[in-house]
Amino acid sequence: MKPFIFTRIQYTSGDWDTDQRMPSNILHSLVEYTTIPVDQKEKVVQLSSPDLFRSPFCYMSGHKLVEFSAQERDHFKRYVQNGGFVFVDDCNHDIDALFARSFEQEMARTFGPKALQKIPNNHPLYTCFFKFDEGPPTTSFELNGWGDDLVHDYLKAIMINGRIGVLYSNKDYGCEWDYDFRNKRFLAEDNTKFGVNIITYALTA
């Protein structure tokens, strides 16, 4: 089995380079809890590059505008339709802010207006490694007084042949997991465990 590489998508609009410490934190959790071999370094891939198609898992995030070029849109669609998995996280945790509105418009343009749908909280994503009986775990950022100040008790997804191809969160997991992994010992519960589920699902479903 090839080592898992945490691949971040660089797109031309907006701010793609958020949550700098998060990838190493999630990679540490994969080493701690699973037998998945990992590459310790995050890889950044331009959405317009053919290198995109070499990664089974990609991460995309931001606060600002999401507006793909024609080539980016073509690559994103082909990547997902050919079995790739993209985890997209809204750093604003705000369904009415620019990232959420523009990303959802981009997905409607790319896959159709009804492609992005809420997934049920008993989806296999929530039990494929650790068990999350109530669906997606709440983040400390959802009720911190900015964004839309709501707890989003669901995730959305674009399904391809019965499997999640695009997983979309307004919960700001990227910021939640953006800390030095050595500080996990101060947490009552390791909040990166759901990240382990996301990657396990992406690699095995």
**Structural domains of the chain ordered from first start:** 7-204 (3.40.50.12140)
Q: For residue range 64-94, what is the model confidence (pLDDT) as tens digits? A: 999 999 999 999 999 999 999 999 999 887 7
Amino acid type, 14:
G
Q: What is the CA radius of gyration of the chain?
A: 16
User: Which pLDDT belongs to residue 147?
Assistant: 59
Give pLDDT tens digits for 4-62. 999 999 999 989 999 999 999 999 999 999 999 999 999 999 999 999 999 999 999 99
- How far apart, in whole angstroms, are the C-alpha atoms of residue 80 and residue 42? 20
CB 94 within 8 A of CB 104: no
* Percentage of the chain lying above the pLDDT 70 cut: 96
Query: Mean per-residue pLDDT for 115-122?
Result: 96
Residues 177-186 have pLDDT tens digits of 988 777 777 7
- What does residue 43 show for φ and ψ, rounded to 5 degrees? -115, 135
Question: What is the pLDDT, as a whole number, of residue 87?
Answer: 98
